[in-house]
Structure 1
Amino acid sequence: MTAGITVFNDWGTVQIDENWAAMSLRHKTQIAVQTPATGAQAFNGSITFAATSPMVFWKADAPIYALTSTNNGNGTWTYTFRASDPTFATVYVFDTPEWATQNYGLEIFNAFGVKVFGDQLSPLKLAKVIPIGAVPLVWAGLPLGDYAVTTSDPGFRSETYAADIERTAVFSCGARHLGNGASCDWVLARDSIPFAVNSQSFTPKFLVIADVAGL
């Protein structure tokens, strides 16, 4: 940018400027991923929240993934999570900070008057981005702490099995937090599809870990 303010982090990456906003915690809530799914021997749990550009992390007792994410068009989003077994999850929603107002402290706005930073907010702290070479994966390379996790995409795997006729099961990659990292494994997305396809796999690209200590 030719004018204004540019803030860099310790790694030399732009943290705040005309084009970048500091993602900040907007919601933290616990959900039950326990509703029997349709078309799969799996379980769902949903959450609806107000947000502009959400980035969603979670802590869960079992691997889960975002089955759907829907912009409802009224300032809210709905996320549905899926797990192979019933579980609970704590969901952290980070968002660009234009929703938050302050009466004191430091605020930074871009040229359009949109708030891109507020010092009264809790910024997203990325602890690690892990390339996923294969699933399942366990990565435990962080100091003991309080972490939440997400993936860049849920990936995809299908396999054919024999029943009265050949059928297909489809899986996506779920993630869960660890005390010193995160892990991911395949979660059943749909089964008993009454036709066969060639088995195939598209591994998700990245496992993303956030430090949520104190949030």
Structure 2
Amino acid sequence: MTAGIAVYNDWGTVQIDENWAAMSLRQKTQIAVQTPATGAQAYNGNLTFAAVSPVVFWKADAPIYVLTSTNNGNGTWTYTFRATDPTFATVYVFDTPEWATQNYGLEVFNASGVKVFGDQLSSLKLAKVLPIGGTVPLVWGGLPPGEYAVTTSDPGFKSETYAADIERTAVFSCGARHLANGASCDWVLARDGIPFAVNSQSFTPQFLLVADVAGL
């Protein structure tokens, strides 16, 4: 950039400038992932919230993943989470900070007048971006004990054909859960009982992301 402000972190990565905004906590809430799913022996939980460009992390006692995310077109989003077994999750919604106003402190705006930082907000603190590298299930505990939430870069995909009276196919996606010192991920049933056989295949997510949510 030729003018304005640029903020870098300790690794030399741009955190705030004309093109980058500091994602900030917009909502923290608990949901039940306990509604029986249609088309799979699994469970769903929904969350609707206001946001501009959300990034969602969670803490859960079992692996969950984002089955669907829908922009409702009126400033709200609806996310559906899925788990193999009933569970509860604490969901953290981070968003670009243009939605927030403050009466004092430091605010940074880009050239279009969009707010990209506010020092009264709780910014997203990434503790680890972990390459999954084709390994699912995965357990990683390389962080100091703390409070962490997780998400994946994408849900991935795996299909398996099994035999009953006739061949059936099951489809899985990759769910994540937090650990006291890191995170783990495992396959979660997306759909089963598909009445034909397919060639077994899998595409694991690229990254498991871990956020430090202590104090949030």
Q: TM-score range by the shorter chain?
A: over 0.9
Which residue is 2:184 aligned to? 183
Using the alignment, how far apart are the partners of 2:25 and 2:11 within structure 1?
22
Q: Where do residues 24-173 of structure 1 align in structure 2 (5 Å cutoff)? A: 24-133=24-133, 134-173=135-174
Q: Where do residues 10-29 of structure 1 align in structure 2 (5 Å cutoff)? A: 10-29=10-29
**Cα drift, residue 23 of structure 1:** 0.2
**Cα drift, residue 132 of structure 1:** 0.4
Using the alignment, how far apart are the partners of 1:197 and 1:171 within structure 2?
13
Using the alignment, how far apart are the partners of 2:3 and 2:161 within structure 1?
58
Using the alignment, how far apart are the partners of 2:209 and 2:97 within structure 1?
21
Which residue is 1:212 aligned to? 213
Runs of 4+, deviation exceeding 6 Å:
none
**Cα drift, residue 164 of structure 1:** 1.4
Using the alignment, how far apart are the partners of 2:43 and 2:79 within structure 1?
14
**Cα drift, residue 84 of structure 1:** 0.2
Mark the runs of 5 or more structure 2 residues left unpaired by the alignment. none
**Cα drift, residue 206 of structure 1:** 0.3
- How many aligned positions are there? 215
- CA deviation vs aligned residue, 1:22-64 (integer Å, no higher than 9, x gap): 0000000000000000000000000000000000000000000
Mark the runs of 5 or more structure 1 residues left unpaired by the alignment. none
TM-score, normalization: structure 2?
Answer: 0.99
Using the alignment, how far apart are the partners of 1:211 and 1:171 within structure 2?
28
Using the alignment, how far apart are the partners of 2:173 and 2:15 within structure 1?
32
TM-score, normalization: structure 1?
Answer: 1.00
**Cα drift, residue 163 of structure 1:** 1.1
Q: Percent same amino acid among aligned pairs? A: 89
Matching residue's letter, 1:212: V
**Cα drift, residue 121 of structure 1:** 0.1
Instruction: Let me know the Cα RMSD of the aligned residues.
Output: 0.4
Secondary structure of 1:98's match?
helix
Using the alignment, how far apart are the partners of 1:203 and 1:119 within structure 2?
37
